[in-house]
């Protein structure tokens, strides 16, 4: 199939998975409301059940039901990507096929395992998943959560598979985007995955973005993305990034999922807690986040609006 690199060259908001009943069940109604918020603010894509969405915290049945509901609700109004990383290859294939069958636009897959995986095991995993589905696949390198660090030369091998057309690089190593870009074809999109270094990643050639900050300041974030990746305007990018950076830095320091759940409660769009044993932010960190969000809101209110192509 075609690499479809243009599909990934956009913003995909990583949504938290709203919960109710003290975190014990998914609040589907609230999730659909958050998707509508993204659509209303012009965001072109979302990812559910990513790291911010509590990947690994929900059963296969819960994920399937919610994925189907999201695809139906989105109805082509916004691109839907699903995190289908799972502990076994067969489970990952099953979740990925389901996402494809219900109409999702792509899947994002990280190698999940209790045991550290060898490169040969990871390669075979992606080969089998790639052969089982037709939708675009983004390989997600996040050693902070998986314990598996896929180095640039290995990621380039994975990118040779037909429908692997995107790499989300989330090590935070500023040299990785350049190293990967030099090894893969122009048909492969690189996504800036470590929130606090995304400006540098865009300057190095990343063309897609998978942020959490768009849960809070989507329009400002879209303007920044457009300035950095399409206009290639370093001065404007820096100006916009200065407003977003404190939040993005805090997200990386305190974890994407905790900041997303706690932050949305602070701004009046509560999505419940992450599923136990995870908790929201501590009282001190909530106070810090509240101050950051207040400053960001003031910046958004004061910032003149410019059109952003997405």
Annotation says 126 is catalytic = no
Give burial (CB, 10 Å; 0-12/13-18/19+) of 113. Answer: middle
Coil, strand or helix at 209: strand
Is the bond into 277 cis (omega within 30 degrees of 0)? yes
Which of 153, 157, 194, 148 minimizes the C-alpha distance to 173?
A: 194
Annotation says 65 is catalytic = no
What is the Cα–Cα distance from 6 to 124, expressed in whole angstroms?
A: 26
What is the Cα–Cα distance from 243 to 205, expressed in whole angstroms?
A: 22
Give burial (CB, 10 Å; 0-12/13-18/19+) of 17. Answer: buried
Strand-pair partners of 208: 191
- C-alpha triplet 300, 48, 222: angle, nearest 5°: 25
Out of 168, 219, 231, 254, the active site residue is 168
Residue pair 64/98 in contact (Cβ under 8 Å)? The answer is: yes
What is the Cα–Cα distance from 53 to 39, expressed in whole angstroms?
A: 18
From its phi and psi, is residue 245 left (phi > 0), alpha (psi between -120 and 50) or beta? alpha
Coil, strand or helix at 191: strand
Out of 20, 140, 279, 288, the active site residue is 140
The residues annotated with a catalytic role in the active site are 140, 168
């Amino acid at each position: 199939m075609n690499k479809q690199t243009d599909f990934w060259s956009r913003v995909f908001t990583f949504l938290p998975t709203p919960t109710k009943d003290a975190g014990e069940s998914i609040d589907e109604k609230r999730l659909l409301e958050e998707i509508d918020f993204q659509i209303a603010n012009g965001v072109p894509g979302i990812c559910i059940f990513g790291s911010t969405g509590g990947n690994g915290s929900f059963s296969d049945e819960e994920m399937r039901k919610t994925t189907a509901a999201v695809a139906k609700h989105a109805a082509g109004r916004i691109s839907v990507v699903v995190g289908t990383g799972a502990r076994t290859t067969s489970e990952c294939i099953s979740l990925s096929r389901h996402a494809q069958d219900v109409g999702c636009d792509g899947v994002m897959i990280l190698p999940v395992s209790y045991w550290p995986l060898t490169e040969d095991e990871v390669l075979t995993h992606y080969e089998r998943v790639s052969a089982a589905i037709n939708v675009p696949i983004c390989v997600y390198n996040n050693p902070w959560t998986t314990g598996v660090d896929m180095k640039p030369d290995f990621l380039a091998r994975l990118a040779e598979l037909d429908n692997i057309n995107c790499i989300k690089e989330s090590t935070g190593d500023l040299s990785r985007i350049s190293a990967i870009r030099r090894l893969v074809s122009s048909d492969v999109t690189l996504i800036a995955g470590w929130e606090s270094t995304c400006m540098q990643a865009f300057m190095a050639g990343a063309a897609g973005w998978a942020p959490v900050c768009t849960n809070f300041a989507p329009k400002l974030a879209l303007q920044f993305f457009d300035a950095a990746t399409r206009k290639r305007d370093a001065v404007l990018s820096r100006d916009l990034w200065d407003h977003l950076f404190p939040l993005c830095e805090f997200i990386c320091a305190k974890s994407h999922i905790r900041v997303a759940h706690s932050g949305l409660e602070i701004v009046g769009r509560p999505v419940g807690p992450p599923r136990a044993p995870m908790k929201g932010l501590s009282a001190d960190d909530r106070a810090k986040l509240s101050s950051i969000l207040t400053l960001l809101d003031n910046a958004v209110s004061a910032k003149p609006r410019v059109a952003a192509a997405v």
